[in-house]
């Protein structure tokens, strides 16, 4: 018997068949290639290192390399540079790896490195991370594989700062050939993976670089970065095997992932310290006794045990433990001492149990960027409760992190005698991608990077002098001494309340090997393996 199918049903069936076939082919391709699928919270604007402003470093570090890198123990090790030598206080000479090529086929050599420095520092169109290269005065090509970087003045943290993902080297010749827009759509670096396609809104796909300098690497064929804004969505996708690596998961999801048979949670404490900086122009906080009373009134250890069980670790000083130059110097919870300090400063409790001085309450409001760091709001609420219990009229105000940062950056640019910044206290986390105390300490340095003020408008001559010493290329012991002394000044002057360093949590599928979280928020993909 012949079955006749009406034409309209055939037409309707065609797209379905094509869709099914495309899904089938894609699954077949997945089975043949070693594809690792990574889910990130948001899509970056660009992956061109010249103009990328964040959110893309993990992807950029698969396509591009820097001259040096920080290993997982925070040691500075060669990357595109084979070795380096400090010629004098102001000159560093890099010997480059030979035989390295950009994905475009252009050679990577001393000329390429010089071209990159020149492009990043081009006054007409500087790279967005040019500030990190501010100490550079001149780049000289010594020979095909040797390049010399001359600094304007001695600057110790310089070589280490070259390891940050903002300063990966891109193919300047290719960028010139394609133009900035063309290069943004087809970037070229020397990394283990090269750009394949960007399906806007869906995924950025990278493929293994067959000419990668380390033979036998990379060990997977495709890296596919997709974008899932909801943490619960990323977890669900991980649980059903739709993705292999899920980024930026909340700490409280760790037990859930531990219960999943094919998923392993990865945790790493970030070096990034989060501090509540005081506004040093605030009339109440001008008094060092009040600042000290506040830090001793907060039981951060209790907060660590309860709220931060899966979400981070309480800071034991202004710099995270383990960072180069960090000093362990906790304030400690001393409520009686705190009360004594306030009494000596003239603050006494009124009939409602609130501290008052000359008829004015001890009222302070801390601004919290609620959408950046895990558990920050819960930590803020706990501190608020603790301080209120002790008689402080303390409030927290949660705002969008981007508004908070913009307000702080804008306030940093106003002169010391300018308007009072619109916050009493503000949460501020500073990345430590080069693993050294220098970066976070610049937030307290009153003349860092040309800004006229530190985050809280604290200005201390001793601290500034010690920072100026610490950035000289000193022997390690002396440099550490300067960093430690600078932190001792902070401890004495109390420009802020150290809170915690966040815990970065990711989940990976079984079969993913060679993937490790880096405490300095670096991402190295060449060792990634998929054994399934």
Binding site for another protein (CB under 8 A): 19-20, 22-23, 26, 39, 42-46, 48, 51, 53-54, 123-126, 128-132, 134, 166, 180-181, 184-185, 199-203, 226-230, 232-234, 236-237, 239-240, 242, 371, 400, 402-403, 405-407, 409-410, 413, 430-431, 439, 449-451
Question: What is the nearest approach in angstroms of another protein to the Cβ of residue 22?
Answer: 8
Question: What is the nearest approach in angstroms of another protein to the Cβ of residue 82?
Answer: 27
Q: Are 333 and 298 in contact (CB under 8 A)?
A: yes
Q: Which residue has the tokens 């967005």?
A: 128
- In the three-class reduction of DSSP (H, G, I as helix; E, B as strand; rest coil), residue 180 is classed as helix
Given the complex with another protein, which of 198 and 500 has the nearer CB atom?
198
Give the Cα separation of 138 and 81 in Å (integer).
18
Q: Are 269 and 312 in contact (CB under 8 A)?
A: yes
Question: What is the nearest approach in angstroms of another protein to the Cβ of residue 211?
Answer: 28
Question: What is the nearest approach in angstroms of another protein to the Cβ of residue 216?
Answer: 30
Question: What is the nearest approach in angstroms of another protein to the Cβ of residue 274?
Answer: 13
Question: What is the nearest approach in angstroms of another protein to the Cβ of residue 532?
Answer: 18
Q: Within 10 Å of residue 124's Cβ, how many Cβ atoms?
A: 4
DSSP 187: -
Tell how far CA 115 is from the center of its chain: 27
Given the complex with another protein, which of 370 and 469 has the nearer CB atom?
370
Given the complex with another protein, which of 121 and 480 has the nearer CB atom?
121
Helices within 242-324 (DSSP H only): 254-258, 288-297, 300-306
Question: What is the nearest approach in angstroms of another protein to the Cβ of residue 59?
Answer: 13
Given the complex with another protein, which of 13 and 140 has the nearer CB atom?
13
- What are φ and ψ of residue 174, in 5° steps? -70, -35
Give the Cα separation of 65 and 68 in Å (integer).
8
Question: What is the nearest approach in angstroms of another protein to the Cβ of residue 303?
Answer: 25
Cβ neighbours for 266, distance < 8 A, ≥ 6 positions apart: 505, 506, 507, 508, 515, 516, 517
Q: Using N-to-C axis directions, what is the helix angle for 110-120 and 172-185, rounded to 10°?
A: 60
Helices within 323-398 (DSSP H only): 335-344, 376-389
Given the complex with another protein, which of 284 and 376 has the nearer CB atom?
376
Tell how far CA 220 is from the center of its chain: 26
Strands (E) in 184-244, as ranges, are 193-199, 203-208, 222-227
Question: What is the nearest approach in angstroms of another protein to the Cβ of residue 328?
Answer: 24
Exposed / middle / buried, residue 313 (Cβ in 10 Å: 0-12, 13-18, 19+): middle
Given the complex with another protein, which of 130 and 467 has the nearer CB atom?
130
Give the Cα separation of 169 and 115 in Å (integer).
10
Given the complex with another protein, which of 432 and 503 has the nearer CB atom?
432
Given the complex with another protein, which of 372 and 388 has the nearer CB atom?
372
Q: Is the dihedral of CA 297, 392, 492, 412 positive or negative?
A: positive
- What are φ and ψ of residue 257, in 5° steps? -65, -35
Question: What is the nearest approach in angstroms of another protein to the Cβ of residue 110?
Answer: 26
Given the complex with another protein, which of 20 and 492 has the nearer CB atom?
20
Given the complex with another protein, which of 110 and 238 has the nearer CB atom?
238
Radius of gyration of the chain (CA): 26
Give the Cα separation of 529 and 3 in Å (integer).
51
């Amino acid at each position: 018997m012949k079955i006749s199918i009406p034409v309209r049903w055939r037409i309707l069936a065609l797209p379905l068949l094509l869709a099914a076939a495309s899904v089938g082919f894609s699954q077949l391709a997945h089975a043949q290639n070693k594809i690792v699928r990574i889910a990130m919270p948001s899509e970056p604007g660009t992956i061109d290192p010249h103009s990328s402003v964040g959110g893309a470093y993990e992807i950029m570090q698969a396509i591009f390399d820097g001259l040096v890198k920080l290993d997982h123990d925070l040691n500075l090790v060669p990357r595109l540079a084979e070795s380096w030598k400090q010629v004098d206080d102001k000159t560093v000479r890099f010997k480059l790896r030979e035989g390295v090529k950009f994905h475009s086929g252009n050679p990577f050599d001393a000329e390429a490195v010089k071209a990159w420095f020149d492009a990043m520092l081009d006054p007409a169109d500087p790279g967005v991370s040019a500030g990190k290269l501010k100490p550079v005065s001149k780049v000289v090509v010594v020979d095909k594989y040797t390049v010399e970087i001359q600094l304007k003045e001695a600057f110790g943290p310089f070589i280490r700062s070259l390891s940050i993902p903002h300063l990966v080297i891109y193919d300047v010749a290719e960028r010139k050939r394609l133009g900035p827009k063309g290069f943004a759509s087809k970037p070229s670096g020397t990394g283990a993976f090269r750009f394949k396609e960007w399906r806007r809104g869906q995924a950025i796909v990278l493929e293994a670089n067959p000419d990668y300098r380390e033979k036998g690497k990379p060990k997977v064929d495709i890296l596919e970065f997709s974008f899932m804004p909801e943490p619960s969505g990323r977890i669900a996708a991980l649980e059903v095997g739709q993705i292999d690596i899920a980024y930026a998961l909340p700490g409280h999801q760790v037990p859930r992932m531990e219960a999943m048979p094919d998923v392993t949670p990865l945790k790493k404490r970030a070096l990034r310290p989060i501090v509540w900086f005081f506004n040093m122009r605030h009339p109440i906080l001008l008094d060092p006794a009040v600042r000290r009373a506040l830090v001793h009134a907060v039981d951060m250890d209790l907060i660590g045990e309860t709220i931060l069980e899966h979400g981070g670790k309480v800071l034991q000083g202004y710099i995270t433990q383990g960072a180069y130059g960090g000093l362990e110097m906790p304030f400690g919870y001393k409520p009686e001492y705190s009360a004594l300090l306030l009494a000596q400063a003239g603050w006494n409790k009124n009939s409602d149990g609130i501290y008052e001085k000359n008829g004015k309450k001890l009222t302070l409001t801390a601004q919290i960027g609620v959408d950046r760091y895990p558990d920050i709001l819960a930590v803020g609420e706990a501190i608020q409760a603790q301080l209120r219990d002790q008689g402080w009229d303390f409030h927290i105000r949660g705002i969008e992190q981007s508004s908070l940062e913009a307000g702080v950056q804008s306030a940093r640019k106003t002169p010391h005698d300018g308007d009072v910044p619109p916050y009493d206290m503000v949460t501020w986390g500073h990345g430590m991608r080069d693993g050294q105390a220098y970066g976070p300490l610049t937030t307290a340095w009153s003349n860092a990077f040309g800004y006229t003020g530190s985050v809280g408008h604290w200005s201390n001559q001793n601290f500034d002098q010690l920072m100026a010493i610490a950035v000289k290329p000193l022997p390690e012991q002396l440099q550490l001494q300067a960093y430690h002394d600078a932190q001792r000044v902070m401890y004495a002057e109390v420009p802020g309340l150290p809170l915690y360093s966040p815990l970065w949590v990711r989940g990976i599928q079984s079969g993913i090997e060679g993937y490790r979280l880096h405490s300095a928020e670096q991402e190295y993909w060449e060792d990634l393996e998929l054994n399934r």
